[in-house]
Structure 1
């Protein structure tokens, strides 16, 4: 019986090209040691005092960008300095895995990032555990979002790519092979990154 199951372009690239290349370049004996993508988390923080219409607008945009229903996150504890009470809305988040994760990352790397004005690449800094986070200040870089932003402010978000890599070097190499357009480091930064 032949299976016609849909395989995302980025996943196909990972399985056919990236994984064998990483296994060879990083010297892994076992195929299960090769770092892989685990999930992508998209998060947009909200001012707790904003009205419900704004929360719904942010949720709608994040949902259309991710291709999966976003959830409104609630404050776990009260913080008086931020006028935040326990249970108030303080963000919108969505976690992508599997096919949706690969589809989103493909669109993000190949369509959204090049839409940033004066784009020269993204930072090479990872979190120390092989995971990568990037802040986006304007959601209109995504083709799903209308460019008619008159009368409303832009929605920003943080995108975190979680990998199974043990070190930043492995994580950076995985993302680079998948097409992440990292900035060329300056000579001083390159010396720090190599360490």
Structure 2
């Protein structure tokens, strides 16, 4: 069974992966394929196209997925370690109990995805797209998501720590209860009404004041 990972007050379920998994050799991936219980490592799975592929209890190590399109992908109990997922299309994916560790996620498309109990740790996710996605119980830490697109994204129980979100787009996304105080940014795309209940630092208050044309008197 999986265990709980504490992140201040937020708890997420970690992937439920057995020990001593054997290596999986994946040469071709077709729509509807199902892969489970194994380690896939040191491989190129780039520029592939398939629909409704499922990975269950799988560890990916040093995999290059660049330019791959897996629409309606299902990921359950998976770990990505030092993988390159630049410009992949995982739109409409369902991702549950997953970890992305030290991965390159530049330009990844997770629009309309359902993402629950997921950790992004030390990832490069600049220009990532989460439009119309649902994120619940997600931790992003030590990462860069500059110019990422969270337009009209549903966020619930999200923790952001030591992460650069400069120039990211949050318009139409309710930030109530989201703590941005440990994030780095000089500007965000955001509407005034979406900031209600958002937690920010004193320094960030000046950033928002400038965004909305306010003058703060010393």
TM-score, normalization by structure 2: 0.22
Higher relative contact order (CA 8 A, sep 6+): 1
More strand by share: 2
More helix by share: 1
